[in-house]
């Protein structure tokens, strides 16, 4: 666009004055990055339409005509000489640098910055466009290790700090030592000492400085109980010991020892989760030596409350210690108790076909596991305060074989109960529920009536809920009607003004959001219509009802447990609160003290005898 065109645009819409520099840079041949459509190349400016013609690389259709006043705030212009532009002009030359001199790519990125520095996020955005999503992460992880050792690059010690292209190269060891002596924060000192250990393979280059480093580390660990938590102190001890091995025959005698720290640790779950992931196995090995009689129970406790790599590392450690029976028995018991959390369930279903764990996980592939999955997803949905997705729910949706596998030995009644649980689950969008229910119907066609509403027993449509949970859904519905849906309609109307809908990217994105909002609105309408509010006051203390506290004794183990049987959306397994819609809740309804009920899931029976009944409202 030339100056006259830009002046005309700004005259019509004065707010565009803030983007004059960007508009001037948007010339034919230059590349731009759109927030949604990613990398594109400007082909021309159509003066008749008043639109810029752009070809986006990730879109099969070329020649998008877009109004600059509508999308200028959603793009970044890539200047001439930028690594992205160079790559698109001469891919063979840049690909050779990517392969043979990865540090050179980062240097080129930093050279193009006025300050010769860039944040991690800025670099990763460029690498994503340069290498593609499947390649860039692996390449970047390998390159970061090279950058640490390159004297030309200043590597950030925190994620919030930038990479810097130095005017004068500095040895990484000298730079770390200088910072180590300068800073006072114990945690930072430990991290810097760890970097020194990783950089100095034979420690010969640290020979003169090592005694000072070890003494400083030891004093920091001893005197910083108020500045370092137990995980930080243990991390510091291990870093000190790793550095000290070349000058001490037995580093375990250096005080404080790793054993002395974990002996005074109140929570190993917190300790393990706060340690760097590379030290997980080291901690577990330490537990076996310090607590030889109870390390297995401690490890199981960490597993039950952990997630991600820590969870996998703990399970792998038990397997390496040949604790297969313990692991299988614990997982089976947790599933049966319906108190198993979603990260452990996610690990189970992800590894169900692995050669290493298949033997102990195959027996868990039952409808009972699917029931536990639904409860965990519903619980996570009720607890979350953001729009962050639930990984277990996403995996269940993406793995098209999982539901059929878990329903393989189910009977019709069990499958129907599970389908009903899915329909009332708060962790799935409406469209996802329909997709999952379809998998039920393929194996149990009679479940179709749950979707069509042709059930002869209309009383099953009632859903008893508490006032608090009803208010939460009602507030969500109100916000959809009053805020989110109107805002979306306005966005659609604005996008319509910008021409041919077939080529209108903004219109497509707004319509996709509309589909999501309307699907959620429809689900909430169904839920709220079915809901019958109860305050739990109508329940007696001689028979189990919605609002009873029931003391039970298991027939197989003799174990006593107390559950509160509350409304459909009130489940909280950690607090021993069950929805009356659970299999156990359904079996107990209407029963008196002394009554024994049996629950059969996947041909496995468990009996529970009622030892006492009280009213939840009387104790709350």
pLDDT tens-digit readout, 447-505: 887 666 554 444 346 789 999 999 988 998 899 888 888 888 787 777 766 655 455 66
Q: Is the peptide bond before 256 cis (omega within 30 degrees of 0)?
A: yes
> Residue range 586-606: average pLDDT?
83
Element (H, E) at 65: strand 64-66
CA–CA separation, 62 and 74 (whole Å): 19
Mean per-residue pLDDT, 310-327: 95
- The residue with tokens 């379809």 is 438
pLDDT at 601: 59
What is the rounded distance in angstroms from the CA atom of residue 346 to the CA atom of residue 312?
A: 11
pLDDT higher than 60, residue 417: yes
Question: Rounded to the nearest 5°, which phi and psi values hold at 51?
Answer: -135, 150
> How much is the pLDDT for 272?
93
State the pLDDT confidence band at 519, using cuts at 50, 70 and 90. Answer: low
DSSP label at residue 600: E
Closest of 448, 449, 452, 425 to residue 438, by C-alpha? 448
Longest Cα–Cα distance in the chain: 90
Does residue 202 register a pLDDT over 60? no
**DSSP assignment of 269-291:** HHHHHHS-GGGHHHHHHHHHHH-
Cα four-point dihedral sign 556, 557, 562, 568: negative
SS3 state of residue 539 = coil
**Other CB atoms within 10 Å distance of the CB of residue 293:** 6
Tokens linked to 122: 């800025």
Q: Which CATH number fits domain 548-619: 3.10.50.30, 3.40.1010.10, 1.10.260.40, 3.40.50.300?
A: 3.10.50.30
Confidence of residue 206 (pLDDT cuts 50, 70, 90): low
- Amino acid 602: pLDDT: 61
Strand partners, 578: 565
* pLDDT value of residue 60: 63
Residue 96 — pLDDT band, cuts 50, 70, 90? very high
Distance CA 277, CA 310 (A): 7
Task: Compute the distance between CA of residue 334 and CA of residue 540 in angstroms, rounded to an integer.
Answer: 31
Residue listed under structure tokens 């999503």:
133
Least Cα distance to 366 among 606, 607, 601, 605 occurs for: 601
Residue 325 pLDDT grade (very low, low, confident, very high; cuts 50, 70, 90): very high
3-78 under CATH 2.30.30, yes or no: yes
How many Cα atoms sit within 13 Å of 403 on the Cβ side? 25
321 CB-contact burial (10 Å; exposed 0-12 / middle 13-18 / buried 19+)? middle
Two tokens at 444? 């149990």
Per residue in 381-416, pLDDT (tens digit) is: 877 777 788 999 999 999 988 998 898 778 778 888
Helix (H, G, I), strand (E, B) or coil at 119: coil
Mean pLDDT of 29-44: 86
- Mean pLDDT is lowest, of 1-5, 274-278, 592-596, for 1-5
Picking from 411, 419, 435, the residue whose alpha carbon sits closest to that of residue 370 is 419
Report, at the CATH architecture level, how domain 462-534 is classified.
Orthogonal Bundle (1.10)
Span 329-350, average pLDDT: 91
Task: For residue 339, give the 3-state DSSP assignment.
Answer: coil
Please report where in the chains the tokens 């159509």 appear, as a residue: 46
Q: What pLDDT was estimated at residue 174?
A: 77
463-466 vs 531-534, strand pairing mode: parallel
Question: Which residues of the chain does CATH 3.10.50.30 include?
Answer: 548-619
CA angle 141–142–148, rounded 5-degree value = 90
* Confidence bin at 549 (pLDDT 50/70/90): very high
Q: For residue 607, give the 3-state DSSP assignment.
A: strand
3-class DSSP state for residue 144? helix
pLDDT, average across residues 573-583: 87
CA 303, CA 352: separation in Å to the nearest integer?
A: 17
Question: Measuring CA to CA, how many Å separate 551 from each of 317, 439, 573, 600, 615?
Answer: 37, 37, 15, 20, 12
Query: Of the segments 364-368, 525-529, 568-572, which one has the largest average pLDDT value?
Result: 364-368
Segment 111-150, tens digit of pLDDT? 988 899 999 999 999 999 899 888 999 999 999 989 988 8
In the chain, which segments carry CATH 1.10.287.180?
462-534
Question: Are 56 and 40 a contacting pair, CB within 8 Å?
Answer: yes
131 vs 82: CA distance, rounded Å: 15
Residue 11 confidence class, pLDDT cut points 50, 70, 90 = confident
Percent of the chain with pLDDT over 90: 35
For residue 601, the cross-strand partners are: 604
Alpha-carbon distance of 103 to 111, in angstroms, equals: 12
Among residues 319, 318, 271, 262, the alpha carbon closest in space to that of 291 is found at 262
How many Cβ atoms are within 10 Å of 8's Cβ, its own excluded? 12
Question: Which segments of the chain belong to CATH 2.30.30?
Answer: 3-78
The four Cα atoms 157, 158, 164, 169 give a dihedral, to 10 degrees, of: 0
Nearest-10 crossing angle of helices 324-336, 295-305 = 40
Integer Cα distance of 90 and 386 in angstroms: 44
Strand 75-78 and strand 31-34: pairing? antiparallel
Q: Which helix (H) or strand (E) holds 111?
A: helix 102-111
Q: DSSP for 175-231?
A: HHHHHHHH---HHHHHHHHHHHHHH-SSSGGGTTTHHHHHHHHHHHHHH-TTTS-HH
Considering 193-202, 304-313, 380-389, the range whose residues carry the highest mean pLDDT is 304-313
The winner for highest mean pLDDT among 29-33, 342-346, 531-535, 539-543 is 342-346
Pairing of strands 596-601, 604-615: antiparallel
- Residue 230: pLDDT above 70? yes
Q: Name the percent of the chain lying above pLDDT 70.
A: 92
What is the pLDDT of the chain when averaged over all its residues?
86
Q: What is the pLDDT of residue 500?
A: 52
pLDDT (0 to 100) of residue 455: 46
Q: What's the average model confidence in pLDDT over 300-306?
A: 94
| Pair of tokens at residue 523 | 């689900």
Please count the residues of the chain. 620
d(CA 350, CA 574): 24
Which residues, in sequence order, are bridge partners of residue 76?
33
d(CA 145, CA 594): 67
Answer yes or no: is pLDDT of 63 > 70: yes
Tell me the C-alpha distance between 278 and 283, whole Å: 10
The CA-atom distances, in angstroms, between 139 and each of 324, 339, 457, 589 are 37, 41, 60, 59
How many CB atoms are closer than 10 A to CB 541?
14
Strand, helix or coil at 118? strand
């Amino acid at each position: 666009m030339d100056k006259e065109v830009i002046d005309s645009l700004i005259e019509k819409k004065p707010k565009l004055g803030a983007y004059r520099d960007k508009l001037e840079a948007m010339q034919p041949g230059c590349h731009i990055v759109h927030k949604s459509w990613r990398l594109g190349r400007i082909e021309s400016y159509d003066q008749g339409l008043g639109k810029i013609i752009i070809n986006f690389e990730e879109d099969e259709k070329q020649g998008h005509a877009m109004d600059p006043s509508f999308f200028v705030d959603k793009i970044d212009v890539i200047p001439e000489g930028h690594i992205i532009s160079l790559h698109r002009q001469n891919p063979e030359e840049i690909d050779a640098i990517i392969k043979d001199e990865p540090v050179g790519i980062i240097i080129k990125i930093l050279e193009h910055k006025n300050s010769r520095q860039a944040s991690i996020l800025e670099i990763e955005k460029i690498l994503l466009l340069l290498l593609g999503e499947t390649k860039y992460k692996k390449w970047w992880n390998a390159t970061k290790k090279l950058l640490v050792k390159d004297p030309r690059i200043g590597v950030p010690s925190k994620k919030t700090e930038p990479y810097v292209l130095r005017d004068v190269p500095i040895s990484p060891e000298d730079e770390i030592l200088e910072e180590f002596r300068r800073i006072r924060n114990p945690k930072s000192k430990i991290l810097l000492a760890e970097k020194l250990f990783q950089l100095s393979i034979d420690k010969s280059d640290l020979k003169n400085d090592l005694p000072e480093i070890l003494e400083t580390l030891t004093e920091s660990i001893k005197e910083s109980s108020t500045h370092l938590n137990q995980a930080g102190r243990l991390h510091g001890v291990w870093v000190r010991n790793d550095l000290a091995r070349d000058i001490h025959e037995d580093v375990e005698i250096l005080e404080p020892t790793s054993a002395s720290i974990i002996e005074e640790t109140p929570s190993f779950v917190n300790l393990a989760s706060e340690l760097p992931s590379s030290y997980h196995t080291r901690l577990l090995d330490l537990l076996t030596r310090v607590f030889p009689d109870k390390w297995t129970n401690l490890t199981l406790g960490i597993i039950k409350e952990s997630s991600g790599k820590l969870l996998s590392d703990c399970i792998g450690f038990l397997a390496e210690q040949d604790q297969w029976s313990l692991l299988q028995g614990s997982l089976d018991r947790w599933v049966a108790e319906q108190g198993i959390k979603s990260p452990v369930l996610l690990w189970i279903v992800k590894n169900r076909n692995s050669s290493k764990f298949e033997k102990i996980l195959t027996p868990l592939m039952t409808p009972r596991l699917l029931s536990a999955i639904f409860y965990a997803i519903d619980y996570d949905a009720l607890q979350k305060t953001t729009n962050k997705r639930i990984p277990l729910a996403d995996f269940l949706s993406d793995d098209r074989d999982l539901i059929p596998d878990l329903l393989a030995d189910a009977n019709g009644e069990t499958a129907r109960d599970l389908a009903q649980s899915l329909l009332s689950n708060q962790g799935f969008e409406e469209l996802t529920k329909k997709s999952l229910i379809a998998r039920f119907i393929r194996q149990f066609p009679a479940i179709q009536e749950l979707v069509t509403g042709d059930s002869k027993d209309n009383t099953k449509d009632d859903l008893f809920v508490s006032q608090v949970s009803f208010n939460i859904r009602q507030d969500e519905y109100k916000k959809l009607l009053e805020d989110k849906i109107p805002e979306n309609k306005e966005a659609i109307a604005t996008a319509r003004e910008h021409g041919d809908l077939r080529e209108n990217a903004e219109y497509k994105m707004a319509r996709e959001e509309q589909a999501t909002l309307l699907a959620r609105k429809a689900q909430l309408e169904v839920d709220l219509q079915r809901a019958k509010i109860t305050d739990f006051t109508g329940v007696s203390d001689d028979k189990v009802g919605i609002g009873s506290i029931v003391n039970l004794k298991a027939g197989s183990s003799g174990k006593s447990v107390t559950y509160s049987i509350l409304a459909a959306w009130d489940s909280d397994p950690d607090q021993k609160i069950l929805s009356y819609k659970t299999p156990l809740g359904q079996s107990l309804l209407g029963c008196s003290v002394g009554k024994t009920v049996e629950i059969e899931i996947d041909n496995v029976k468990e009996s529970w005898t009622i030892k006492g009944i009280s009213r939840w409202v009387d104790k709350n």
